Chain A
Amino acid sequence: DAKTTQPTSMDCAEGRAANLPCNHSTISGNEYVYWYRQIHSQGPQYIIHGLKNNETNEMASLIITEDRKSSTLILPHATLRDTAVYYCIVRGPSNTGKLIFGQGTTLQVKP
């Protein structure tokens, strides 16, 4: 599975969009990009995933560059409850669903 690189930490003002970048320059054509978040010491929570096209759900949007070497998770209107560690993970379709977590980005949403 391709390795990902994320900034260690980011701040965002409450009500503004939070844009979390992720680099995955060695991604293969059949590998998906997944985003999870972990609030305080709870279990991680699935946010969104995509292969090539941009994706949107009720929680966030995922923008994947055309060359697929990087992506951005967008939380359109960040709230204080969005303060968490966000993990960008790349995995192929054939490894039984296991995910390898990196260090993630700590997002601090400020009033």
Chain B
Amino acid sequence: NAGVTQTPKFQVLKTGQSMTLQCAQDMNHNSMYWYRQDPGMGLRLIYYSASEGTTDKGEVPNGYNVSRLNKREFSLRLESAAPSQTSVYFCASSSGGTGTGELFFGEGSRLTVL
């Protein structure tokens, strides 16, 4: 019963370093998403992928890149990390299509940029 798996769960970076957050789902879902959540705030959409081979910007895409590697995997890359990117990152997936907004979330990746 893996669902949505994110790695790593914790990461500390120095300003300017790069890293990739990995996400994989085993539910054969078409759509995948990356959100960030800052302390005391709601989730904000960074990027999403409606289907394999497509990606689109969300509310806060600046400073990030994504890759939909295949149907299962959707990665988020920080090319040059900044302290403002300190946050908890959540990956989610859904079957997609009309009227099917049930998202399944991973446990989150906690990133600190010093």
Contacts and interface: CB of A to CB of B under 8 A. Distances in A.
Contacts of B100: 97
Nearest to B54: A96
Interface string A84-103: 00010101011011111111
**Looking at chain A, what size class is its interface with the partner chain?**
20 to 34
A101 B44 contact: yes
A41 B88 contact: yes
Interface stretch (A9-17, A43-51, A74-82): A43-51
Contacts, number: 66
- The A contact surface, by secondary structure, is loop
- Among B44, B101, B102, B103, max chain A CB count under 10 A is at B101
Given A42-B107, A97-B101, A104 B58 contact: no
Given A46-B102, A96-B56, A98-B48, 18 more contacts: A36-B103, A42-B107, A43-B108, A44-B90, A46-B103, A49-B102, A51-B99, A89-B101, A93-B98, A97-B95, A97-B96, A97-B97, A97-B100, A100-B45, A101-B35, A101-B42, A101-B43, A102-B42
Interface of A: 32, 34, 36, 41-46, 49, 51, 87, 89, 91, 93-94, 96-104
List of 9 A-B pairs having minimum Cβ-Cβ separation, nearest first: A43-B105, A96-B50, A93-B98, A101-B43, A101-B42, A97-B94, A46-B102, A93-B99, A97-B31
